[in-house]
Structure 1
Amino acid sequence: MPTDDEVPVVLLHGVGLDRTVWSRVEALLSRTASAIDLPGHGAQPPLTGPTDLAAMASDVLARMPAGQVHLVGFSLGSLVAQQIAIEEPTRVRSLTCVSSVCARTQEESAAVQGRLEGAESDFRGSMERALDRWFPEDEGDSETLRDETRPVLLANDPDSYRHAYAVFAAGDRELESKLNAISSPTLAITGELDPGSTPEMSERIANRIPDTRVAIVSGARHMLPVTHPEVLTDHLRALTNHTEGSR
């Protein structure tokens, strides 16, 4: 059984990305961290058919370090992390939901469904539109971040990406009624300007998961692990130190 300061951090990325999205955060963390590729992403085999959150969570659980972890999910990874926290509560010392969707409204669901349909008809164009949302051209180092992220997105098998995105598009509705079963201390953090994982959605998480703290990063958009790693790491450190200090 690890001591408190040996409990590792497990980092789950968003749809279309891979474990490297966490490289800046991993470099800043002072404890062991494991960034894991989601099914169908990075070094994992492409998804060859429809899947769901339960299957993705089971796959990730099999590759997580043994014992308790501080579980951190970003975007789709947050939905997978929530599923794990519901299914295996004793494995999750703390839960962090980064740029997470929750209980989308009808309008919000229609918007994400439109992006899924866009990926089905024009995969490469949908990747460029994602870069536009994440790194607007009028922001400082957007060109560098676009150039860094574009090859990761375009490395996806298009069919596999669409199977994963379908889980992202519907997973919040599947989880909504189950979130109150999560018992781990939880942080919901997102960017002030994130149009898809809005500050209101982080408040929705807090309204459903007991013992949740909300943090909104001023001026930030979706890609907090890339654009605001120091801020995100500070919040992660505060949560992990709090949960371990209270034991």
Structure 2
Amino acid sequence: MSMEIATRSYGHGARQALAIHCSLAHAGAWRGLGAALDADARLLAFDLPWHGRSANWDEQGDIHDASTAMARALLTEPMDLVGHSFGATVALRLAVERPELVRSLCLIEPVYFAAARLDAPERAAAYSAQSQALAGMIARGDRETATRDFNRRWGDGRRWHDFPQRSRDYMMERIGFISASAPFIEHDCAGLLRDGLLSRATMPVLLVEGDQSPDVVGAINDAIEKRLPDARRAKITGAGHMAPITHPEPVAEAIRELWKVTQERVDLRAAD
């Protein structure tokens, strides 16, 4: 596919961070968190393939490979990575593949269902049934029902008809992205869960979740945490899956704590 990548920047701080948004969104989803971190960092956000103003996916190859290639092209120097949902799975993959370029890693509700299925199949069972039902709707061409159902489970709490028509149309046009992402997020097609590969991500890692999120989110974070050398957790009170949009300030505070740890490590190495 074309590597045409649309980007936006938020903030004026000294840290350089790369932000990767969730499915059915775009780089503008980081506006609130960027404002909350304005003095701390400059967030470089980009539109995933088939999203925003980036190139459409030509449906050749794997969508997670294409998304990771886009992010990799922007990771030109050591940066802090912040990813949400699908974007968090891309950030995790980058941290494994290019750890020398990732100073710290913040994963906000990574939808790496393959990890939960491996470690806690009983906690992933409800999601598996929902995923199969959603795939059936998409395959039948019932995009509106599929998108409405997806947003009910993974959205920001708004009812479907509270979204502007333009937003509903945007999400319905891209709902096939959910099925297309299944080879990685549900079946680990890149094999990151095998052979201890996640242990290559040695940088400080923060796993974030909302306390109103589905139980499978906690199972995913449990599975990822135990495979990483240096991970910690944060739970956002009152938040669901869309915490960086609905609760940007507490998410930003958790990220600042991660960056504080990261800087302390840098200072210690410099002192040695």
- Mark yes or no: TM-score above 0.5: yes
The yes-or-no answer on 1:179 pairing with 2:189 is no
Report which structure shows greater RCO (CA 8 Å, sep ≥6): 1
- The 1:172/1:18 distance shift into structure 2, 3 A limit, reads farther
Q: Secondary structure at the match of 1:101?
A: coil
Q: Secondary structure at the match of 2:238?
A: coil
- Contact kept, 8 Å, 1:61 with 1:84, in 2: the verdict is yes
Superposed CA deviations along residues 164-195 of structure 1, whole A, max 9, x for unmatched, are 45544334883223222211110000112212
Partners of 1:242 and 1:41 in 2: how far apart?
A: 33
TM-score (norm 1): 0.84
Cα displacement (A) at 1:143: 7.7
| Alignment coverage as a number of residue pairs | 237
Report 1:1-247 matches (<5 A): 6-29=14-37, 30=39, 31-49=41-59, 50-62=61-73, 64-102=74-112, 103-105=115-117, 106=121, 107=125, 108-121=127-140, 122-133=142-153, 134-136=155-157, 146-147=163-164, 150=168, 152-156=170-174, 159=176, 162-164=179-181, 166-171=183-188, 174-177=191-194, 178-195=197-214, 197-247=216-266
- Contact kept, 8 Å, 1:19 with 1:42, in 2: the verdict is yes
Partners of 2:216 and 2:48 in 1: how far apart?
A: 19
Cα displacement (A) at 1:44: 1.5
Partners of 2:31 and 2:168 in 1: how far apart?
A: 16
Cα displacement (A) at 1:124: 1.8
Partners of 1:174 and 1:191 in 2: how far apart?
A: 27
Q: Secondary structure at the match of 1:180?
A: helix
Cα RMSD over matched residues?
2.6
Aligned to 2:5: none
Which 5+ residue runs of structure 2 have no aligned equivalent? 1-12, 267-272
Which 5+ residue runs of structure 1 have no aligned equivalent? none
Higher Rg of the two aligned structures: 2
User: Which letter maps to 1:236?
Assistant: I
